[in-house]
Amino acid sequence: MRDIKFLTKNFGKYDTSSIDSYLSIGGFDALKKAVTMEPTAISDLIASVKVKGRGGAEYDMGRKWSQARDVKGDNKLLICNADEGETTTFKDRELIKNDPFNLLEAMIIGAYVVGAVEGFIYMRGEYACYRPLLLDAMRQCREKGFLGKNILGKGFDFDIKLYSGAGAYVCGEGTALIRSIEGKAGRPRMKPPFIKVSGAFARPTCLNNVESFSIVPHLLLDEKGEYASCGSGNSIGTKMVSVAGNVNRPGVFEIPFGTTVREIIYDLAGGVQHNHGIRLIQFGGASGKIADASILDTPYTYEALRGAGVMVGSGGILVIDERTSVLDFLRMNQDFFSEESCGQCTPCREGNLHIKIILDKMAEGKATEEDLRVMEKIARVMSMSSLCGLGETAQNTLMSAMRVFPEVFQAGGAR
Amino acid sequence: MTETKANEQMVHLTINNIPVEVPKGTKVMQAAAKIGIDIPHLCYHEDQRAKARCRLCSVEVTGKRRLLAACSTEVWEGMEVHTDTPIVRDTQVAILQLMLANHNQDCLNCARNQNCDLQRLCSRFNILHSNLPNVVKPEPRISTNPSIVRDPSKCIRCGRCVRACKDVQGIEALTYAGRSSDIIVTTAFKKPMETTDCVLCGQCSLVCPTGAIVEKDDTDAVLDALQDPKKHVIVQVAPSVRVALGDAFGMEPGEIVTGQMVTALRLLGFDKVFDTNFGADLTIMEEGSEFLSRLQNGGVLPMITSCSPGWVNFMEKRFGDFTKHLSSAKSPMSMFGAIAKTYYPEKAGIDVKDIVTVSIMPCTAKKYEASRPEMGRNGIPDVDIVLTTRELIKLIKYVGITFKQLPESDFDSPLGTGSGAAAIFGVTGGVMEAALRTVYEKFTGKTLPKLEFEDVRGFKGIKEAEVDLGTRKVKVAIVHTLKNARVVMEQVQKGESPYDFIEIMACPGGCIGGGGQPIGTTNEIRKKRIEALYQLDKSLPLRKSHENPDIITLYKDFLGEPLSEKAHELLHTHYHKVAPLYEFD
C-alpha cells in the first residue's frame, strides 16, 4: 500500500486556531493562485482528475462547478455540507478539526469559480464543539481580507455563515438541508426545481461535501501531479475512509484509490477484534450495501466495489464480526431508518415501518414465506419510488443482504 | 388542459408506445390524460402545486434508473413513458396497501363512504385482501366546533389540506408534526382548530381525499325536526347551492337545478321552502343604506362586506382592531333567520317556539355563524340548523329521491322571492354588483343604464372598479380567498387603503366554491357555477334588490325603513376582536 498524505498533509502541521500559523505553511497560496486563473480552468482541472462528490452521490465535481458557474444569477450561494449524518462516517469531522482553514480556503476558491456571493457551512448539531474553531477561523479570514469585500483585491465578494443542524439524518439530503437553512423543518422536497437553479432561499446554489471541497486547494498546488498518480480508471487520487465496528483501531485514514479492503481493515484499522472472523462489512453507512469477507481482496475503487455489489458512498466502512448475526445487524440498521425517515412520502414512511415488523417476526422465528416476499417487494418499491435519496437507499443494506446471505431469509427466520 | 397556442413549443413523447404531442412544460400526468390514461394519484390535486409525496403516480421512463412522479415531472422531447409495467403496477398496489394498513378502514361508518379517493383507487386496483398488518394508531375523532370534524386515523398524510390552508387561504392552521411513521397533520400544539388561526372555512374538507376532515354532520337534527309533528320546519337555500347540487346527481357542473331542489326539499318534508335570496335582497337594502350613510356622514371607510363567515372569523382573529370596517349588516342567512323568527310567525300565526329554521349553505363556517350568540334574540337563534350542500345530498339520497327526474317547483311565499342581484351573491363580485345596482339608484335617483358591472366580475383574486355616482366617485375592490384578503387588509391596517367599499369572500370563487360544496369542486367547476349564476341573474325579470316586491312589503308592514330601529335590532350586529391563541412577537 502506498503511503500518501494529500488531503491530510496539513494535519498536525499548524496551529488550527491561528491563521498566521496556516499562512506560515503556505496557507492561501492555492487561493492566490486560483484568482490568477480563469474560473473554468479550475473546474476543468477538477474534472480532469475525475473528482467525484465525496458525500456519496459520486457526482462529477468539476462538472457541478462549471454548471453552477453557467447558472445565471448574481446572488448565488455556495454551501458546504458538513452534516455527515451517515453512520460509520466521521472523516469530515477530521478535516474540520485538523484543517479548518483549508476548508474555508476551498470554499472561497469555490465561490470564485461558481460566482457565489455568500456561503454556508451546514454542520451537524453533534459537531457543535467545532463551532468556535470554525467561527474563529472565519473571523480571522475576514480580518486578513480572505472573506468579505473585494477578496485579494480581485473584486469579488464572499462571506460564509455557519449553520448548525438539529440532528436529523435526512438533513444531509440536499433539499432537506436547504429547507433547514431556510429555517423550515428539514424535510426533502421534490425536484425540480433543482438546487443549482433554485436552492436555499430560491437562490442558485452549489452544494458540496467537506471532503470534496478540501481536495481543491491541494489540487491547485499539486504541480507534480501526485494526486493524479494515485488510482486508476474513474477512481483517481485519494479517499478519506472511516473504519468502525469490530476492528482494533477504528479511525479515519487517507488511502490512495486501489488500496484493498483487506489492507484498510487489517493494516490500517488493526484487524478484527480478538481475531474473530468477519460476518459482514457495510460500505457507506446505513444506506450502504453489505458484503461478506470475500470482498477483502477487492481494491477500494468506485468500479471494483460496485462490481462486488457495494459502493463507496460516504466512505464509511463498518466491520461486523461473527459474534453478531446478519439478522440482528439488519434490525439495528432498520431501526435507524424507522426513526430517520422524514415521513412525507408513502413508500418510505410506511415501508420502513412494515419492514421493521417483518424483521422482528424473523427474529421471533415467525416470518412466513409471504412475509419475506412482501418485504422484498416493499424494499424494491421504496428504492424505486421514494421521494428522496433516503427512501431510495434505506433498503440497500437489506437488499444486498438478500443477495449475499440468502440463507438468512428462510421462512421461520433461520439465523 | 393547456390550450395550444400558435407560438407554443410542442414536445413529442410516447406513453405506452402511443405518440403524444403536448406543449412544453406539460406534466406527464396531463400528457397521459390527453390520450385517456388516468394515472392514479392521491396527493395531487389539479388546483394545487404538485407535492409528489404519495408516489402513487410513479411511472417508468426509459433510461431512468428510478420511477418518476407523473404529477411533477415535465415531459421532454423523445421521452418514453410506461404506465403499465410490472414495477409500476407493483408500486401502485404496494403504495395503496401501505396506505390502507395505516388507514382506519371503517368505511361503512364514514362520511366519505362511496365518495372516497382511496376507496375508489383500491377498488380500481382490485385490492382484495391486504397482506400487511394494520398499524393504525387509535385516535379519537376531534369534534370540538360546530363546523369541522377531524378523524386523524383516516389521514393518509397526502398534504392536500395543508396546501389548501396555506396556499389558498394563507392561514396555515394545519401543518405537519413529527416524522417517519409518526408524522401527522395537525394544528399548532395540537390545539382544537377553532382556537387556532383556523377560520372554519372548510377548504381542507373539500380537498381531503378521505374522511379525515369532514363537515360536522347535522342531518340527524334535521330529520328529527321533520319527524316532530309539533314543529313547523322551514328551510332556506343559499344562492350557490342551486348550481352545485346537481354535480352529485350526475348532472353537468354548473347546471341550474333550483326547481328540482325545491321539489326535493318538499319531498323531504319541509313545511315551507324559502330562498336565502330573499335574505340577500334584504342584506342589500341594509348594507347598501349603511354604505350610503357612511359615505354621506363621514363614517368609517372602507366599509367591508360581512356575509362570508370564514372572512368574518379571519377579520376577528387576524385584524381584530379593524372590525369597525365590517358592515354591521348580518349575512343573508342570518337576516332571513331573524325575519323567519319574527315577521313570519306573526304573519303565519305560528308560535315562534314551534318554528325550526334550517339553512342549506355551501359553507362549513355558516354552522359556526348560526351558533354565535349575536345571531338571535332572547335565546332564540335566527337559524337553528345549518346543513352544507354535502349534507343535503346525503339527505336526498337517504330518502331515496331520484333527483334528476324530479319535476320543478317554485319557492313558497312570502320569503321565497329573490332578485337576480341576490342570485349572484354566491359568486365573488356578486355582492358588490348587487349593492352597486341599489346604491347607484338610491344615491343618484336615476335608473342604471346598464345593470352589469363587468369590472367586478371574473376569477381574479383582487379586482378593482370605480363607479361614478355623479357627485362622487366610489372606488371598490372585490377580493376572494383569505390570502388575498390579507393583502387588502394590510392596506387598511396601514391606513393606505384606496377603497371606499370592499367585498371579501373567504372561499375561491365565492360561495360557489365554498368549503361545504360537493366533493370534487375544482376551479374549473367553480367557473362553470359562476357562469350559471350570472345566467340565472340575466334570466330573471327582477334584477335589483330594492325592486323585490316582497322586500318592499316587508319594510312597509314590519321594518319601516332600512336602518330603522327595528331593522337594527333584527338585522344588524357587531363583531369583535378574538385574541389569538399564541403570539410569536
Task: Note the Cα B560 to chain centre separation in Å.
Answer: 34
As a dihedral over the C-alpha atoms of residue B573, residue B579, residue B581, residue B585, rounded to 10 degrees, the angle is 140
| Residue A335 Cα, gap to closest chain B Cα (Å) | 11
Which chain A residue's Cα is nearest to B73? A192
Look at residue A200 in the predicted model and tell me its pLDDT: 97
DSSP state letter for A318 = E
> Could you give the residue ranges of the DSSP H alpha helices within A128-264?
131-143, 174-181, 210-220, 261-262
Look at residue A411 in the predicted model and tell me its pLDDT: 81
Question: What phi-psi label fits residue B202: left (phi over 0), alpha (psi between -120 and 50 degrees) or beta?
Answer: left
- Of the candidates B96, B132, B102, the residue with the CA atom closest to the CA atom of residue B117: B96
Q: Which chain B residues are Cβ-neighbours of A341 within 8 angstroms?
A: 179-181
Average pLDDT estimate for A126-134 = 97
* CB of A191 closer than 8 Å to CB of A175: yes
- Say which residue the cell 458557474 belongs to: A69
What is the Cα–Cα distance from A61 to A58, expressed in whole angstroms?
Answer: 8
Does the beta-carbon distance from A350 to B181 stay under 8 Å?
yes
Look at residue B16 in the predicted model and tell me its pLDDT: 98
| Cα distances (Å, whole numbers) of residue A394 to A333, A413, B33 | 9, 21, 33
* CB of B359 closer than 8 Å to CB of B235: yes
Look at residue B581 in the predicted model and tell me its pLDDT: 74
DSSP state letter for B8 = P
- Of the candidates A32, A60, A58, A26, the residue with the CA atom closest to the CA atom of residue A45: A60
Question: What phi-psi label fits residue A115: left (phi over 0), alpha (psi between -120 and 50 degrees) or beta?
Answer: left
| Mutation for A interface: B43, B53, B91, most A CBs within 10 A | B53
What is the Cα–Cα distance from A161 to B550, expressed in whole angstroms?
Answer: 71
Average pLDDT estimate for A338-353 = 97
Strands B376-377 and B501-505: unpaired
- Which residues of B are identified as catalytic? 287, 290, 307, 327, 366, 369, 374, 511
| Residue A190 Cα, gap to closest chain B Cα (Å) | 6
Ordered domains of chain A (ranges, CATH):
19-220 (3.40.50.11540), 231-321 (3.10.20.600), 326-408 (1.20.1440.230)
Question: What phi-psi label fits residue B481: left (phi over 0), alpha (psi between -120 and 50 degrees) or beta?
Answer: left
- Residue A413 binned pLDDT confidence (cut-offs 50, 70, 90): low
Second-level CATH architecture of B10-96:
Roll (3.10)
- DSSP states along B61-85: ETT-SS-EETTTPBP-TT-EEESSS
CA angle A309, A314, A319 (to 5 degrees): 65
Does the beta-carbon distance from A168 to B179 stay under 8 Å?
yes
SS3 B251: coil
- State the DSSP H helix or E strand holding residue B312, giving kind and residue range, or none if neither: helix B309-318
- Calculate helix-pair angle for A131-143, A100-114, nearest 10 degrees: 60
- By Cβ distance, the residue of B50, B91, B157 closest to A381 is B91
Helix-, strand-, coil-residue percentages of chain B, each rounded to 5: 40, 15, 45
Does the beta-carbon distance from B98 to A354 stay under 8 Å?
yes
What is the Cα–Cα distance from B141 to B156, expressed in whole angstroms?
Answer: 15
- Residue B12 binned pLDDT confidence (cut-offs 50, 70, 90): very high
What is the Cα–Cα distance from A309 to B136, expressed in whole angstroms?
Answer: 37
| Residue A412 Cα, gap to closest chain B Cα (Å) | 17
- DSSP states along B529-565: HHHHHHHHHHH-S---GGG-HHHHHHIIIII-STT-H
- Residue B584 binned pLDDT confidence (cut-offs 50, 70, 90): low
- Say which residue the cell 360546530 belongs to: B146
- By Cβ distance, the residue of B55, B72, B101 closest to A347 is B55
- By Cβ distance, the residue of B56, B67, B178 closest to A343 is B178
- State the DSSP H helix or E strand holding residue A355, giving kind and residue range, or none if neither: helix A346-363
Look at residue B2 in the predicted model and tell me its pLDDT: 47
Q: Sign of dihedral through CA atoms B305, B306, B309, B310?
A: positive
- DSSP states along A106-152: HHHHHHHHHTEEEEEEEE-GGGGGGHHHHHHHHHHHHHTTSSBSSGG
In B305-382, the DSSP E strands lie at 355-361, 376-377, 380-381
Q: Which chain B residues are Cβ-neighbours of A357 within 8 angstroms?
A: 133, 135
Q: Which chain B residues are Cβ-neighbours of A384 within 8 angstroms?
A: 58, 66-67, 87, 91
Q: Which amino acid is at B175?
A: T
Look at residue A414 in the predicted model and tell me its pLDDT: 46
Fold: same for B10-96 and B219-571: no
Look at residue B3 in the predicted model and tell me its pLDDT: 52
Query: What would the pLDDT profile of B337-374 be if each residue is shown by its tens digit?
Result: 999 999 999 999 999 999 999 999 999 999 999 999 99
Partners of residue A235 on adjacent β-strands: A232
Look at residue B6 in the predicted model and tell me its pLDDT: 60
Neighbours of B531 (CB within 10 A): 14
Look at residue A210 in the predicted model and tell me its pLDDT: 98
Does the beta-carbon distance from A344 to B99 stay under 8 Å?
no
Please state, rounded to an integer, the average pLDDT across all residues of chain A: 96
Phi, psi of A267 (to 5 degrees): -85, -45
| Mutation for A interface: B89, B97, B181, most A CBs within 10 A | B181
Look at residue B4 in the predicted model and tell me its pLDDT: 52
Q: Is the peptide bond before B381 cis (omega within 30 degrees of 0)?
A: no
- DSSP states along B84-153: SSHHHHHHHHHHHHHHHHTS---GGG-TTTTS-HHHHHHHHTT--S--S---PPP---B--SSSEEE-GG
As a dihedral over the C-alpha atoms of residue A280, residue A286, residue A287, residue A290, rounded to 10 degrees, the angle is 0
Size of interface A-B (CB pairs under 8 A): 109
The domain B219-571 is classified under which CATH number: 3.30.70.270, 3.40.50.1780, 3.40.470.10, 3.30.565.10? 3.40.50.1780
Using a CB–CB cutoff of 8 Å, tell me whether B132 touches chain A: yes
SS3 A34: helix
Look at residue B131 in the predicted model and tell me its pLDDT: 83
Measured CB to CB, residues of chain A less than 8 Å from chain B are: 168, 185, 187, 190, 192, 338-347, 349-354, 357, 370, 374, 377-378, 380-381, 383-387, 392
What is the Cα–Cα distance from B157 to B176, expressed in whole angstroms?
Answer: 9
- Of the candidates A299, A95, A343, A296, the residue with the CA atom closest to the CA atom of residue A214: A95
Does the beta-carbon distance from A349 to B50 stay under 8 Å?
no
| Cα distances (Å, whole numbers) of residue B141 to A307, A373, B66 | 53, 35, 39
Partners of residue A256 on adjacent β-strands: A238
| Residue A339 Cα, gap to closest chain B Cα (Å) | 6
- The structural domains of chain B, with segments of one domain joined by +, span 10-96, 102-215, 219-571
Q: Which chain A residues are Cβ-neighbours of B66 within 8 angstroms?
A: 383-385, 392
Query: What would the pLDDT profile of B539-574 be if each residue is shown by its tens digit?
Result: 999 999 999 999 999 999 999 999 999 999 999 999
- By Cβ distance, the residue of A350, A383, A385 closest to B102 is A350
Look at residue B583 in the predicted model and tell me its pLDDT: 64
Which chain B residue's Cα is nearest to A369? B131
Does the beta-carbon distance from A346 to B179 stay under 8 Å?
no
pLDDT above 70 as % of chain B: 98
SS3 B260: helix
Query: What would the pLDDT profile of B269-318 be if each residue is shown by its tens digit?
Result: 999 999 999 999 999 999 999 999 999 999 999 999 999 999 999 999 99
| Residue B177 Cα, gap to closest chain A Cα (Å) | 9
SS3 B429: coil
Average pLDDT estimate for A6-33 = 98
| Cα distances (Å, whole numbers) of residue B294 to B48, B122, B388, B501, B566 | 40, 58, 34, 10, 19
Which chain A residue's Cα is nearest to B58? A385
| Cα distances (Å, whole numbers) of residue B474 to B295, B307, B345 | 9, 21, 40
Residue B5 in this model has a pLDDT that exceeds 60: no
What is the Cα–Cα distance from A287 to A148, expressed in whole angstroms?
Answer: 38
- DSSP states along B390-403: HHHHHHHHHHT--G
What is the Cα–Cα distance from B8 to B518, expressed in whole angstroms?
Answer: 35
* CB of B237 closer than 8 Å to CB of B511: no
Does the beta-carbon distance from B180 to A340 stay under 8 Å?
yes
pTM of the model: 0.94
Is 1.10.645.10 the CATH classification of the domain at B102-215? no
CA angle A179, A185, A190 (to 5 degrees): 50
DSSP state letter for A325 = -
pLDDT above 90 as % of chain B: 95
* CB of B461 closer than 8 Å to CB of B484: yes
* CB of A108 closer than 8 Å to CB of A147: yes
Does the beta-carbon distance from B66 to A385 stay under 8 Å?
yes
What is the Cα–Cα distance from B446 to B208, expressed in whole angstroms?
Answer: 49
Does the beta-carbon distance from B53 to A345 stay under 8 Å?
yes
Does the beta-carbon distance from B157 to A346 stay under 8 Å?
yes
Does the beta-carbon distance from B95 to A346 stay under 8 Å?
yes
- Residue A73 binned pLDDT confidence (cut-offs 50, 70, 90): very high
Q: Which chain A residues are Cβ-neighbours of B182 within 8 angstroms?
A: 343
| Residue B180 Cα, gap to closest chain A Cα (Å) | 4
Q: Which amino acid is at A308?
A: A
DSSP state letter for B168 = I
Does the beta-carbon distance from A344 to B53 stay under 8 Å?
yes
